[in-house]
Amino acid sequence: MFITSLILFAVLNEPHQFSALDLWERECNEGDQVACERFANAQAGAGKLERLDGLAQRYGVRADRAELEDAGRPRLNVAYKQVMQDFIGAEHAAGELELNYDEETVNYCADHFHNYWINRKLWWPTDENGAPSWTDIYYYIVDHYHGICLRRYFNQI
């Protein structure tokens, strides 16, 4: 009996993890409109992350290494333009129209990104074989475009 009670006690007292998403969903179901807005925004963000992950994985598989690499070094400025065309096109197809492909902006950002990684950091994301990891580079490019280039150099977003 003691063992059964101990097992039951352990099972009932097992810690449960709840996310903010769980909380907002529960509060929304109880009628809290602010929680409903937060929940909807979080779900939309999760959808964007899933889309980004799919795009990065696809780019990593189909990346033309002959075009994107020179003696084992990535041509990040070339990849940057491809990635941003791909990403913005996918966002438009999903109904997200806040970004547009502006060639001058993308070219500036591509050169900045390439020079930063190749000339300043002197390294870049690689796979287990030491070759450029085009999947990881895809993530870095999208992050750079939104987080650094548009914000810092073009006062956007």
Examine residue 26 and state whether it is found in any structural domain, yes or no: no
40 lies in some domain: no
Domain that holds residue 78: 50-154
Close Cβ partners of 118 (under 8 Å, ≥ 6 residues apart): 73, 74, 76, 124
pLDDT of the residue at 9: 45
Structural domain includes residue 70: yes
Residue 135 lies in a domain: yes
Q: Are 75 and 124 in contact (CB under 8 A)?
A: no
Classified as helix, coil or strand, 119 is helix
**Number of domains the chain contains:** 1
Alpha helix positions (H), the chain: 2-12, 20-29, 33-62, 65-68, 76-93, 103-114, 134-144, 154
Tell me, yes or no, whether 133 lies in a domain.
yes
Q: Specify if 14 maps to a domain.
A: no
**Do the domain assignments include residue 25?**
no
Indicate whether 4 belongs to any domain: no
Which pLDDT tens digit goes with each residue over 96-149?
888 888 999 999 999 999 999 998 888 999 999 999 999 999 999 999 998 888
Give 34-71 pLDDT, tens digit per residue: 888 888 877 777 888 889 999 999 999 999 999 999 98
